[in-house]
Structure 1
Amino acid sequence: MMEWTVRELAERAGISGRTLRHYHGIGLLEPDRVGSNGYRYYGPDAVGRLQRILLLRDTGMALADIAAVLDAPGAPAAEVEALQAHLTQLAEDRKALDRRISAVEHTLQMRREGREPRMDVMLEGFNDRYEAEVVRRWGREAFDSSNRWWHAKSVGQQRDWQAGAQALLTRWAEIHEAGHTPASPVAQEHAAAHMAWFADIPGTPTHVGDTERSAAMVRGIADLYETDPDFHRTFGSQEAAQLAANALRIHVRHPA
């Protein structure tokens, strides 16, 4: 039977070894065996489970919820439902990509003919990067309201908002470097500021005061902070991202 080590599986799955070890640590993905050298080895069953984990994670489902779906007595039905939702999202993403391809083809054709491309066609498909995801999670009005909010800002206002967002993340790195724990008053105070930042964005459950859906949103985002290498870089380190993730989880469980 073919087996892969952590490094081999991580390379093939496009994730980090730390992510695999984290999944093992929380009981989400067990290796088939651990060798006498301490290496974890993954066979077909584990690889199949990882595929399902990654697909469900892409739907925005929190890791704890993924474990519940995969381990529940009715797991096949719940998994089919989640995968169907993900397939629908992929189809929407493909439509957006098709619109973008058509826009580039239009621009290329007009340039070849020495004609001026239509401005509205040139940008078709380039302003809806997160549309399908937001609509799937929170509905069409959520996307439309947040889209109007963002594009109503001047370029300067957009830059100011982005600078504020970066300052928010930089503060997490400072809190980590100072040695604070996720449950510490300092971390929880900043978690409240992070939640206020979410609340400023129209279309999010936090903005409309939907406590239950807001908590679910934050748990999903916390999972991304913890496992996605892009967020590790954004926060300055994996440890700072993990601190933020855990602090936010605590905050939504026990809001001040």
Structure 2
Amino acid sequence: MTTRDGRAHGVRAPSDTTRQDWSIQEVARLAGTTSRTLRHYDAEGLLAPSRVGHNGYRYYDAAAVVRLQRILLLRELGLGLPAVAEALDGQSDERAALRTHLGWLRGEQDRLARQIASVETTIAHLGAPEDGDIMAKDMLDGFDHTEHKDEVERRWGSDAYAAGDSWWRGMSPDERADWQRDAASLGADWAAAARSGADPHGPQGQALAERHVAWLGAIPGTPGAGEEPDLDYVVGLGEMYVADERFAANYGGEEGARFVRDALLEWAARRV
């Protein structure tokens, strides 16, 4: 795993196995982070040094290094510090926790391998007219719902993403294709309504909003899935569609995203 600036993001075991602990500078270097970050983790109650020397230097033993590895993994998965603290407190069995992290990492490794293969396939076919029938599924394999993993976990937690991810991976290829067709059809209908000048507060806009909320509620891990919809979640999604051009593209661009947002806002307001 790497940090956003490309540095190694696993805590490598020091080669000198006879030592009992390592200085804050050594641990920071091995983890690809900074001493300031480690001191901040201490201030937040996440990672205390195992001892402080007479000169005020902080030292970390093997148990502290294992805990740091868990913190870095959780941070890389998109959790804020309060969520990291909750996760650490909720699973004190280090082995079990690291097995969970390993499962996430292997899933990410698989996704990246599929993306690499799909890009290689596209490169091989570009400029070759005889291969004009390259399938979209071959070019887009690995570029599924996990594209927005960070957003999901940052906004609604890793459990929400894990539930949705498990649901998605449990589908057959035909079931995934059906779901993607439904999603594309919904996005196209939203875009068409926006282009037609329909009123997002009117019957057409509200019918689409009702359909959209039902579509969301069928996805495990979404707040209120299978129950009464979470209105804050619905409103927040509408705002996110407008704020993020990647989401707006699903609805014909910013204008379409604003139409979706306004319709969802009206839908939620009628249920307060």
Length-normalised TM-score, structure 2 = 0.45
Looking at CA atoms only, which structure, 1 or 2, has the larger radius of gyration? 2
The structure carrying a bigger helix percent of its residues is 1
